């Protein structure tokens, strides 16, 4: 896909999320929007996967550590052919396999449960080391929030990954300076967070997390480094491209009305994958 195609796919995923959370009457739309461009590059270009064989051993692994942003992961999986788009509006409904947080046992294409915040890098490291021991030539990609990096287990995993020289582990930090309770910099600031990953001996890059080519280039650079794990600090905007959600923490967990769904459709018109 071209850069423009991937941008438009990111917006398609954003609108999928707005429509899904509206139909479901529950869910976290805001935290999905900041990672839409990363998700588009990963699921529509980068990840080595086979929707017909979700547990293919050679596949790349993906961990959405900020598991509450799963509506966008479900949209990406549906659009890659893991299951029907008709399943999306059933999110969080009784009997639906699309749980409020990702479920490894129920959802094809999900590599791990997540949503208990902080665990994703440690889980990804376990996958990376396991794959390396089996001589599988792949990568493990993790998306972690910025507020989430206040969790202590993040830094235990950071130490262990460097010690084990996990060059096949690539972590994206979704740095939107927002978390459930407010601004990260006002609650318990991690910034400058890239300095911390440097101090833990990771390969570190800082990019605009909404720039498709910057995301592509950062992944290519990270893959060249084989003796250290990689952290890509992605500067992002919570609620990106949905006008009433941008930088508005009220949309961390909130349901768009039918009118707000229309506003989102209008805002993305002409800039969306059809």
**Residue numbers of the site for Mg ion (CB under 5 A)?**
145-147, 176, 178-179
Determine the Cα–Cα distance for residues 103 and 159; give it in Å rounded to an integer. Answer: 27
Q: Which one, 22 or 66, has the nearer CB to Mg ion?
A: 66
Q: Which one, 168 or 176, has the nearer CB to Mg ion?
A: 176
DSSP-derived secondary structure for 83-136: S-GGGGGGTT-TT-S--SS--TTTSTT--S---STT-HHHHHHHHHHHHHHTT-
Contact predicate 4/48, CB 8 Å: no
| Radius of gyration (C-alpha) of the chain in whole angstroms | 17
Q: Which one, 123 or 193, has the nearer CB to Mg ion?
A: 193
Tell me the closest approach of the beta carbon of residue 150 to Mg ion, in angstroms: 10
Helix (H) or strand (E) holding 64: strand 61-64
- What the block records as the tokens of 11 is 């917006």
Q: Which of 180, 220, 139 is nearest to 31 (CA)?
A: 180
Determine the Cα–Cα distance for residues 271 and 274; give it in Å rounded to an integer. Answer: 9
Contacts 24+ apart (CB under 8 A), 154-157: 154/118, 154/121, 155/196, 155/200, 156/122, 157/121, 157/122, 157/124, 157/125
Contact predicate 184/173, CB 8 Å: no
Tell me the closest approach of the beta carbon of residue 36 to Mg ion, in angstroms: 14
**What phi-psi label fits residue 189: left (phi over 0), alpha (psi between -120 and 50 degrees) or beta?**
beta
- Helix (H/G/I), strand (E/B), else coil: 186: helix
Q: Which one, 22 or 238, has the nearer CB to Mg ion?
A: 238
Determine the Cα–Cα distance for residues 259 and 267; give it in Å rounded to an integer. Answer: 12
Tell me the closest approach of the beta carbon of residue 178 to Mg ion, in angstroms: 5
Tell me the closest approach of the beta carbon of residue 238 to Mg ion, in angstroms: 6
Q: Which one, 138 or 178, has the nearer CB to Mg ion?
A: 178
Tell me the closest approach of the beta carbon of residue 189 to Mg ion, in angstroms: 12
Tell me the closest approach of the beta carbon of residue 128 to Mg ion, in angstroms: 24
Q: Which one, 67 or 147, has the nearer CB to Mg ion?
A: 147
Q: Which of 100, 168, 96 is nearest to 130 (CA)?
A: 168
Q: Which one, 126 or 209, has the nearer CB to Mg ion?
A: 209
Tell me the closest approach of the beta carbon of residue 138 to Mg ion, in angstroms: 28
Tell me the closest approach of the beta carbon of residue 158 to Mg ion, in angstroms: 18
Find tokens 């084990």 and name the residue.
Answer: 164
Q: Which one, 138 or 241, has the nearer CB to Mg ion?
A: 241
């Amino acid at each position: 896909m071209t850069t423009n195609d991937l941008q438009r796919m990111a917006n398609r995923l954003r609108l999928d999320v707005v429509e899904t959370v509206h139909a479901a009457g529950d869910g976290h739309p805001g935290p999905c929007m900041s990672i839409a461009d990363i998700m588009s590059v990963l699921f529509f270009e980068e990840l080595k996967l086979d929707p017909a064989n979700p547990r293919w051993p050679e596949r790349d692994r993906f961990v959405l550590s900020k598991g509450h942003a799963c509506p966008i992961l479900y949209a990406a999986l549906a659009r890659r052919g893991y299951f029907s788009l008709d399943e999306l509006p059933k999110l969080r409904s009784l009997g639906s396999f699309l749980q409020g947080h990702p479920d490894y046992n129920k959802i094809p294409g999900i590599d791990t449960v997540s949503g208990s915040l902080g665990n994703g890098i440690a889980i990804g490291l376990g996958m990376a080391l396991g794959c390396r021991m089996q001589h599988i030539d792949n990568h493990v990609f993790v998306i972690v929030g910025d507020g989430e990096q206040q969790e202590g287990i993040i830094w235990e995993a950071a130490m262990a990954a460097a010690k084990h020289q996990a060059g096949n582990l690539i972590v994206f930090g979704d740095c939107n300076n927002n978390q459930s309770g407010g601004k990260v910099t006002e609650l318990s600031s991690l910034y400058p967070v890239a300095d911390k990953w440097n101090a833990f001996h990771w390969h570190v890059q800082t990019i605009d997390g909404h720039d498709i080519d910057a995301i592509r280039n950062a992944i290519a650079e990270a893959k060249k480094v084989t003796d250290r794990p990689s952290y890509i600090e992605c500067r992002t905007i919570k609620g990106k491209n949905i006008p009433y959600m941008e930088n508005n923490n009220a949309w961390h967990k909130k349901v768009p009305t039918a009118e707000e769904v229309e506003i989102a459709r209008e805002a993305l018109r002409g800039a969306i994958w059809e």
